[in-house]
Each structure stands twice: as C-alpha cells, then as structure tokens.
C-alpha cells in the first residue's frame, strides 16, 4: 500500500519505518524542513533501539520517502496517518491544534477519497472534529469526497517501540465502516498474524482506550509506590510484597515496581488530560487525581531520604547521579524524576555529577544548561569521584552489576540511595555500603 504519515516524531517515525519495512511505500512528512533534511541524511531526531537501522534500510530501498510536501504524499496515498504532537494545554487538557491544522491542510489539498487515521493521543470526540474540519475545507473548494476518519491509538513503549510495533499486543481500530476496517486489517496483517490482536470498536471507545490504558498503568505504579511508603512505616519490604501479590494471576507482576515515580511524554500528560476531560463532562476523577498527586510527591522520595541522612543544608555535598532519562533505552527526559531530584538537590546547596548512557546531551541542552552545579561525567565511575553518595534514578542495564570495589575507591562515603531498588541490600551491607531503598522499612534503610 501507499500511505502518508504526517509527523516524524516518536510515533510517526517508528510507524513510518515499520510500515515501510513490510513493503509499503511510506511518505514520512513533517513541516519542519530541517528535520526532514536531517532524516534524508540519516540523522535521527530521537534515540530508539533498532529505529535508525530500519530508517536507513528502507530509505535506501526507496520505500521510505521523507518530504515536507503534504500534497506529494496525499496525491500518492489512499491512507493518511496523523501522528503529530498533542501537548498539554494551559488548562491541562490535550491541545489538538496541531491535529486540526493537519486536518485543515488535508481538506485544502486532497483530491480523492481518503482514509484518515488518527494515531495521535487525542481526547474523545476528536475524530468528529477532524472530519468536520476536512469537510469544511472541501465544501469551500466545492468538492465532494468520501473521507473516513478512523481512530488507531498507539501503544508503544519508549525503549522498545520498534519491537512493540512489529509484534503488537493489540491493534485497535475505531470505525463503523466495514470497508475501511478491511483495508486497515490488510495493512496491519503482517503485524497481526494472530487475528485476536486486531480489535475493532466504535471511534470514541478507541479514543478512550488509549487514555484508559495509560491511566491503568500509571495507577499500578502509584499504587505500588503507596505500598512502598507504607512498608517503610511498618517495617516491611516492598520487594517481598511485590513478589507475593504478583504471583496472584489476577494481578501479575507488570508495572508493580516501586521507585521514585513515573515520567515520560505519555503518563503525566495523559493522566492530567483525562482528569480535565472528566471534569469538562461533569465528573470528578478522584482516583486519577490521587495517582497524579502521589507521583509528584514520589519524585522527591530520594531527596527526603538524603535530607533525613545529611540535613537540609547540603552545601559542600556532592552527589553522583546514575540515570537521567525517565526509563532505560531512551534519551527522553520529559517529566523524569531526575529533573525534579537534581533541581531540588541544587536548591538545597548540593552539587551533582551526572551520567546517563544516552541522555547527557539532552540534559545539558534542555534541562540544566545554566546550572553550574551540574557536572557531566564521561562514565558512571567518574560520576562518583569524591561523591558523598550515589543516587540511582534510571535502571539502565550497565548499572545492574557495577564494580563496588571501584566505587568504594572513588566515593567519599559508601552510601547508595537507590530509586529503582536494583541491588541486594544484604550483599551491599556485607561489603560496607550504607544502602537506602524505596519501600524497605528495615532498620538502616
């Protein structure tokens, strides 16, 4: 098939690469000219495992074409995906202006029947607005075309997005048009050999499913962090609690890891947007409000432990930081606990030495550019030079089995504040480390 994907951000670029990998001709389109020119040269705007290889491979074959010319894409496609950003507006709701801008452009340029697939995360009812916007433009051009607007939410995880797209848990299509559904089923057939993964429903339910999915996952994280906080008060170990409740098949282990809070481009924004959507429709989403409030507090959990250990005046203290991205295998620092933690430590007078396998450039350019208290280390051990303690904020694989002897030589104090519960407390204490975890109420934790 020949398709156009409007937007070459995280979702659009992954979709473009993966659809073209299956032999489709894909026009990856973006209004940012410099971004398109960089992509043509093979320069990726984001880090995502396996993405660069797919882009370069399919671009060289001619199956993936990057362009800033929407008319070129529309003239050669019968399906157009909208995958532009929906940033949080001033009122907390998702801002769909970019989505409607694309719809307006489609209405002004399209000359044949078209399936418009909304892949951006949008509030319930957006598909109706998109269709109305396109039809309004067509009416001004005195054109009558068959325009079908479909909801096809994405469920990609940063760090494994290519794998998730290639082997999806489910593909959800929101449409009541059987012909359109069959067309999209054919498009997704290479990814859904198990037909139970291809799920159809009405448009509004599909739009709601994306928000409900992220809300459920965020709720599990905040729930487990709440259990961790209680464990600290009553002398229990949340890691043991997780193993216990996770063995219950009704619950399972996924997203039950306690830590210093969730971040990223999706959960924080989508939780806030769903709270606002509910309020806009006369409903008070109390559980979601609690999830959001607890997560905001949890991002400061390690700072509170540090203050309890060293006091509120941290002048003269240096802390080594391992991990800046909100999760492993990405350079994304949006809403990351590291940003809140580092800013608060610096506010209390401390200096920090940071290291992350991928997010160093992002951190320096967008988050701590003017902060002279932040020093960037060449590797994880350099971040510990003369440090009074280590803070582990992201569970990258290279942090799992470090050389503790080397760490001991570099650090002023053998103290670890672990925001991701990566290490064995008994082992560390045996070799002389003071070890502080999330949700461990044992003495000394």
Q: Are 419 and 438 in contact (CB under 8 A)?
A: yes
- Whole-angstrom Cα distance, residue 337 to residue 228? 17
Q: Of 369, 262, 373, which Cα lies nearest the Cα of 321?
A: 373
Is 266 an annotated catalytic residue? Answer: yes
Residue 350 tokens read as 């401390």
Give 76's contacts (C-beta < 8 A, 6+ positions apart). 2, 4, 25, 27
Task: Provide φ and ψ at 23, rounded to 5°.
Answer: 95, 0
- Whole-angstrom Cα distance, residue 243 to residue 220? 15
Q: Are 122 and 96 in contact (CB under 8 A)?
A: yes
- Whole-angstrom Cα distance, residue 221 to residue 224? 5
- Going from the C-alpha of 264 to that of each of 114, 158, 328, 332, 358, the distances in angstroms are 33, 9, 11, 7, 15
Give 62's contacts (C-beta < 8 A, 6+ positions apart). none
Task: Provide φ and ψ at 273, rounded to 5°.
Answer: -65, -40
Q: Are 353 and 320 in contact (CB under 8 A)?
A: yes
Among 80, 231, 266, 346, the one annotated catalytic: 266
Residue 367: alpha-carbon gap to chain centroid = 17
Q: Are 163 and 50 in contact (CB under 8 A)?
A: yes
Residue 357 tokens read as 């396998």
Q: Of 391, 349, 340, which Cα lies nearest the Cα of 373?
A: 349
Q: What amino acid positions are annotated as catalytic residues? A: 266
């Amino acid at each position: 098939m020949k398709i156009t994907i409007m937007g070459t951000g995280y979702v659009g670029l992954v979709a473009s690469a993966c659809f073209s990998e299956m032999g489709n001709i894909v026009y990856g389109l973006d209004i940012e000219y410099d971004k398109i020119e960089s992509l043509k040269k093979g320069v990726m705007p984001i880090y995502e495992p396996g993405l660069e290889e797919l882009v370069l491979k399919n671009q060289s074959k001619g199956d993936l074409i990057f362009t800033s010319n929407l008319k070129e894409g529309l003239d050669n496609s019968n399906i157009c995906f909208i995958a532009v950003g929906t940033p949080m507006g001033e009122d907390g709701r998702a801002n769909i202006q970019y989505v409607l801008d694309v719809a307006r452009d489609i209405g002004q340029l399209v000359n044949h029947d078209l399936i418009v697939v909304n892949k951006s995360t949008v509030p319930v009812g957006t598909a109706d607005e998109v269709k109305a916007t396109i039809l309004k433009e067509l009416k001004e051009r005195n054109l009558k075309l068959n325009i079908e607007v479909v909801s096809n939410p994405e469920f990609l995880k940063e760090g494994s997005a290519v794998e998730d797209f290639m082997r999806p848990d489910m593909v959800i299509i929101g449409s009541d048009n059987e012909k359109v559904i069959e067309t999209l089923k054919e498009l997704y057939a290479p990814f859904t050999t198990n037909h139970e993964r291809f799920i159809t429903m009405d448009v509004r339910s599909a739009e709601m499913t994306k928000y409900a999915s992220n809300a459920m996952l965020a709720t599990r994280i905040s729930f487990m962090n709440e259990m961790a906080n209680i464990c600290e008060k009553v002398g229990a170990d949340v890691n043991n609690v997780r193993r216990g409740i996770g063995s219950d098949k009704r619950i399972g282990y996924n997203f039950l890891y306690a830590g210093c809070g969730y971040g990223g481009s999706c959960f924080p924004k989508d939780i806030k947007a769903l709270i606002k959507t509910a309020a806009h429709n006369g409903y008070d989403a109390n559980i979601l409000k609690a999830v959001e409030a607890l997560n905001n507090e949890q991002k400061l959990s390690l700072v509170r432990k540090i203050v309890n250990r060293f006091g509120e005046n941290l002048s003269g203290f240096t802390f080594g930081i391992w991990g800046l991205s909100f999760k492993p295998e990405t350079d994304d620092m949006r809403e990351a606990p590291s940003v809140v933690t580092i800013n608060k430590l610096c506010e209390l007078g401390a200096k920090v030495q940071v290291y992350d396998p991928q997010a160093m450039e992002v951190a320096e350019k967008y988050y701590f550019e003017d902060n002279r208290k932040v020093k960037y280390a060449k590797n994880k051990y350099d971040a510990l030079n003369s440090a009074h303690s280590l803070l582990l904020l992201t569970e990258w694989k290279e942090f799992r089995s470090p050389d503790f002897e080397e760490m001991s030589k570099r650090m002023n104090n053998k103290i670890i504040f672990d925001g991701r519960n990566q290490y064995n407390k008994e082992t560390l204490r045996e070799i002389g480390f003071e070890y502080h975890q999330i949700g461990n109420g044992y003495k000394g934790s």
